[in-house]
Amino acid sequence: MQRISIDPITRLEGHGKIDIFLNEEGEVANAYFQIPELRGFEVFCVGRPAEDMPNLTDRICGVCPEAHHMAASKALDALWHVEVPPAGKKLRELMYSIFFATDHTTHFYALGGPDFIVGPDAPAAERNILGVIQKVGMDVAGKVLKMRHDGHYLIQMMAARRVQPNWGLPGGVSRGINEEQRKEIEKLGRDAIEFALFSLQAFRDIVLKNKAYVDLILGDIFNHHTYSMGMVDANNRTNFYDGMIRVVDPDGKEFVKYAPKDYLNVLAEHVEPWTYLKFPYLKKVGWKGFVDGKDSGVYKATPLSRLNAADGLATPKAQEAYDEFYKTLGGKPVHATLATHWARLVELLYATERWVELATDPEITSPNYRTIPTAVPDEGVGTVEAPRGTLTHHYKTDSRGILTEVNLIVGTTNNYAPIAMSCKKAAEKLIHKGKVTEGLLNMVEMGFRAYDPCFGCATHSLPGQMPMEVRLRGPNGEVLEVLTKNLA
């Protein structure tokens, strides 16, 4: 029995390690995708005052703190049985839309995008944000940096800090916005829509016009027929901030639609002894291991799965992009993992349109942005769509609002099983007779990156990454061969 260790995988937000075992014939016998850490927020948050949760859980993930901030704030609303006034809801969703646009931009241009923009075969040393800047030139780079800068700037203006906000409270937010700020938010929002359209066009030009890329996207290597999860509004259109959770089966038929507070009826988490991360799955279907199909409880919660789980998008331009997306890829549902990059850009457009919608809502500057709770707190669940998947916070407190129990199911965790499967599948497809090629390594990575996995969230920790390296070991674990990327 031979083993290949990929330790660790690079350019994901979080640390992962893959061990691939080969049988005597050198074919893949099994692959283990391991997450090496955990921080235990669920445990040490117990004993804290619940209203501190938006600030505490910000620190679960510095990549998407706003997502935790929102999920926590919504959990507090439920906990204290308080209705957020319309202005409060809109302010929250506005800030959240700005965050979504910013985060998707970061991923497409800094993390996932490089594979397409500078190309999968380019030396790894160039497959990074700096490489992208070299390739697309300063003017485009300028657009990207401006988009990120504007996003951060507005988040800081509204919610105190560009990373780790301090804003959400049970019943609303700590402060609203004035007309002056609204104008600025609107103006930058319109720029953002332009940027989103530009990015989609860039994707068409660079990727869709390149047959090799399209084949790669649609090829079997990265396909997984799993359930798809996403949050939808009353009309079954994607919403990031609020709504019902809808799950469709591999054929695109609605499997379940439930209120976030009922998540325990739908989801369960499986534990393996070789990783610190748990594997969520659909309770009704059950845990069948790392396999595709209707009979496996494995599901995805990604930009792609959100589009699959919805009937459309609530803004005009985004709806067009949505239609184009499915037309090009041959109808719903789409299971091509790499298409997630495109789906992400469609969501980027939706987020920017929603941003302007809310920024131009007459109620957005209302001083009535918060309701002070009067009920006795007991239990509450808060769910939002994080960029990397459905995020759920579940709290219980005593009558003083001191936490007695905390449970978190975070974005990337939902996708742990699919990611593991993608890695295994890529390995199976590409490794034969114990032969490993440099191409394999990047292929595996690309499948991996499509999920924009953030194991900071997943493990509530973000340990370091090191460049990927593969060691081919013999039955006794001696190293037969070593391959590393970017040997250039």
Partner 1 sequence: MTAKPKLALYWAASCGGCEIAVLAIDEKILEVAAAFDIVLWPVAIDAKVHDVEKMADQSIDVCLFNGSIRNSEQEYMAQLLRRKSKILVAFGSCAHEGCIPGLANLAGREAIFDYVYRRSPSVDNPQGIVPQPEFEAPEGTLHIPVFYDTVKTLDQTVNVDYYVPGCPPEAENIYAIVKAVIAGLGGAPLPPPGTVLGKETTVCDECERTRNEKKIKAFKRTWEMIPNETECLLEQGLVCCGLATRAGCGALCPKVNSPCIGCHGANAGVEDFGARMMTSLASVIDSNDPAEIRRIIQEGIPDPVGTFYRFSLPRSLLRRGALAGNGRGH
Partner 2 sequence: MSDERFEPKIIAFLCNWCSYRAADLAGTARMKYQPNIRSIRVMCSGRVDPSFVLKAFSLGADGVMIAGCHPGECHYLEQNYKAMRRYEMLRHTLLAMGMEDHRLRLQWASAAEGNVLSAAINEMIEQVRALGPLNWPGLWSENGGHQAAIERLPHEHAEALEVTA
Cβ-based neighbours of 211, under 8 Å, separated by 6 or more: none
Query: DSSP alpha helices (H): ranges in 285-392?
Result: 303-309, 316-328, 340-359
Strand pairing class (28-34; 279-282)? unpaired
Of partner 1, partner 2, none, which one sits near residue 394, judging by CB under 5 to 8 A according to partner kind?
A: partner 1
Q: Which of 467, 474, 479, 480 binds partner 1 (CB under 8 A)?
A: 467
Q: Output the smallest distance, CB 248 to partner 1, in A.
A: 21
* Structure token digits, residue 103: 């985060």
C-alpha dist (Å) from residue 390 to 51, 118, 164, 282, 429: 22, 31, 20, 14, 30
Of partner 2, partner 1, none, which one sits near residue 140, judging by CB under 5 to 8 A according to partner kind?
A: none
Q: Output the smallest distance, CB 40 to partner 2, in A.
A: 15
Q: Which of 40, 137, 289, 439 binds partner 1 (CB under 8 A)?
A: 40
Rounded distance between C-alpha atoms, residue 450 and residue 412, angstroms: 12
Sign (positive or negative) of CA dihedral 298, 301, 303, 309: positive
- Name residues contacting partner 1, limited to 313-332 (CB under 8 A): none
Query: Is 474 an interacting residue with respect to partner 1 (CB under 8 A)?
Result: no
Sign (positive or negative) of CA dihedral 44, 46, 49, 50: positive
Nearest to 452 by CA among 408, 409, 418: 418
Q: Using the structure block, give the residue that is written with the tokens 């890829």.
A: 329
Nearest to 410 by CA among 294, 269, 305: 269
Of partner 2, partner 1, none, which one sits near residue 259, judging by CB under 5 to 8 A according to partner kind?
A: none
Q: Which is nearer to partner 2, 234 or 487 (CB)?
A: 487
Stretch that binds partner 2, among 103-111, 386-394, 406-414, 476-484 (CB under 8 A): 476-484
Q: Which is nearer to partner 2, 311 or 469 (CB)?
A: 469
Q: Which is nearer to partner 1, 270 or 332 (CB)?
A: 270
> Is residue 444 a contact partner of residue 426, using CB atoms and an 8 Å limit?
yes
> Is residue 1 a contact partner of residue 29, using CB atoms and an 8 Å limit?
yes
Of partner 1, partner 2, none, which one sits near residue 481, judging by CB under 5 to 8 A according to partner kind?
A: partner 2
Q: Which is nearer to partner 2, 201 or 484 (CB)?
A: 484
* Structure token digits, residue 386: 């994080």
Q: Which is nearer to partner 1, 56 or 386 (CB)?
A: 56
Strand partners, 248: 228, 254
Q: Which of 26, 293, 469, 486 binds partner 2 (CB under 8 A)?
A: 469
Q: Which of 6, 69, 80, 213 binds partner 1 (CB under 8 A)?
A: 80
Rg (CA), the chain: 22
Of partner 1, partner 2, none, which one sits near residue 407, judging by CB under 5 to 8 A according to partner kind?
A: partner 1
Cβ-based neighbours of 44, under 8 Å, separated by 6 or more: none
Query: Is 402 an interacting residue with respect to partner 1 (CB under 8 A)?
Result: yes
Q: Using the structure block, give the residue that is written with the tokens 């019943």.
A: 171
Of partner 2, partner 1, none, which one sits near residue 376, judging by CB under 5 to 8 A according to partner kind?
A: none
- Name residues contacting partner 1, limited to 357-386 (CB under 8 A): 370, 372-373
C-alpha dist (Å) from residue 113 to 127, 168, 258, 321: 9, 32, 34, 19
* Structure token digits, residue 393: 């916070």
C-alpha dist (Å) from residue 135 to 114, 132, 182, 201, 450: 10, 5, 36, 16, 21
Q: Which of 87, 154, 169, 193 binds partner 1 (CB under 8 A)?
A: 169
Query: Is 446 an interacting residue with respect to partner 1 (CB under 8 A)?
Result: no
Q: What is the DSSP letter of 159?
A: H
Q: Which is nearer to partner 1, 4 or 217 (CB)?
A: 4
Rounded distance between C-alpha atoms, residue 220 and residue 430, angstroms: 12
Q: Which of 87, 229, 409, 470 binds partner 1 (CB under 8 A)?
A: 409
Nearest to 438 by CA among 382, 482, 373, 400: 482
Q: Which of 150, 471, 474, 488 binds partner 2 (CB under 8 A)?
A: 471
Q: What share of the chain is helix, strand, coil (3-state, %, to 5)?
A: 45, 20, 35
> Is residue 50 a contact partner of residue 341, using CB atoms and an 8 Å limit?
no
Q: Which of 250, 380, 382, 401 binds partner 1 (CB under 8 A)?
A: 401
Of partner 2, partner 1, none, which one sits near residue 267, judging by CB under 5 to 8 A according to partner kind?
A: partner 1
Q: Which of 26, 27, 120, 152 binds partner 1 (CB under 8 A)?
A: 152
Of partner 2, partner 1, none, which one sits near residue 363, judging by CB under 5 to 8 A according to partner kind?
A: none
- Name residues contacting partner 2, limited to 90-129 (CB under 8 A): none
Stretch that binds partner 2, among 32-40, 118-126, 244-252, 474-482 (CB under 8 A): 474-482
Query: Is 275 an interacting residue with respect to partner 1 (CB under 8 A)?
Result: yes
Q: Output the smallest distance, CB 294 to partner 1, in A.
A: 20
Around Cβ 432, how many Cβ atoms within 10 Å?
Answer: 13
Q: Which is nearer to partner 1, 128 or 319 (CB)?
A: 128
Q: Which of 81, 214, 483, 486 binds partner 2 (CB under 8 A)?
A: 483
- Name residues contacting partner 1, limited to 284-313 (CB under 8 A): 287
Q: Which is nearer to partner 2, 3 or 394 (CB)?
A: 3
Rounded distance between C-alpha atoms, residue 197 and residue 202, angstroms: 9
| Chain residues in the site for partner 2 (CB under 8 A) | 7, 469, 471, 479-484, 487
